[in-house]
Structure 1
Amino acid sequence: MHKAYQPLKPATNKYLQKKWDETRYEHHRNKVSTARPMVDTKGMRTPAHIQLKLKKLQLQDERMAIIEKDNHLLSSKLCDIVRSKGLVDHINHYPEKSLNADKRRDELLQVTRQNQAIYQRITACQSDYRRQLWVDDWERVERRRDDIARYPQGNNCWHDGQSPSVWGSMQDLTSWGISPELHGRTWSMT
């Protein structure tokens, strides 16, 4: 590519002129890269006593010494307490007293008496509903239903020793005062 090279000054050999120019340019670039300024533009060097901050280190050491001293004192006190099992007798042998215990006891007794009175009134009270009237009415309704129905249901649930689902077991009926004889039929529980 030396034929395309255009030197600044006329030369008889373009190839050699190109090589010399490149060598000169490389030498110039090396000098520029290694050049040092004539004026010192660096900042002032920081003094050693400012870099180390000896006062701060001294305060930190003093603080750590105080902490170590306090820790040593506390650990020695704890060791003494553990060794001696404690010298203070702080066990209280008296029962706790309440200033309003009598009042609370009186209120409890009063509430108990009131509950007993309410219970007595409830148990002494007779029912306003007469159960026998309900049973008689139910029997009358069943008889009418059996008379109207094509296939009476009353007979189906009473034969073969089955108890009616409405009344439950024989013991329930007798405890309620109902005779197991209904519609002229008797039934038995197995």
Structure 2
Amino acid sequence: MHRSYQPLKPVTNRFLQQRWDQNDFDNHRRKVSTALPLVDTKGMKTPAHVQLKLKKLQLQDERLSIIHRDNRLLASRLASIVRSQGLVDHRNQYHLKSLNADKRREELMLVGHQNQAIYQRITARQSEYRRQLWLDDWERAERRRDDISRYPRGLAQKQRSNRKVKFAAVDGGGGERSTSSSNIDTDRTDTTEEADRES
């Protein structure tokens, strides 16, 4: 009983139902195997102007025609050399001359005159910068800074030249103290002198 076909729905004859289900399944598999795709994935066709490059063929024909023409000219020259028995006319009495030399000379002279005029205008031009006004303004700013500053400029340099600092040294054995003076400018002495001056 357990090896017999078990249909999904209750039926009167299991053997017939098995054959019908098998036929339906076979038909379904046949349809699936013969089904065609609905989406075209082949890609677009290559255009004719890409497959057959007419411009490239035209350029190749032109190049081949130029090569053939050069070959014919070279062959005719070789034939003329053979017919002349090796006599070569190598004397050339033609002197090189330009047909537009006068025109180029006139253009060169015109450019030279224009350049000279531009140079004259540049050298004759006066400067737009007023240096004297800048110097006057700088001196005025310096005076104002000196007026509003607490200590005038240059005073520290004058005091450093006249200041003397005393050092106290202690000997190791006797306990005697020796003093020496020297002219040394340090930031610490500047601050102490400013504090004394304020008090």
What TM-score, normalized to structure 1? 0.34
- Which structure has the greater CA radius of gyration? 1
What TM-score, normalized to structure 2? 0.33
Which is strand-richer, 1 or 2?
2
Higher relative contact order (CA 8 A, sep 6+): 1
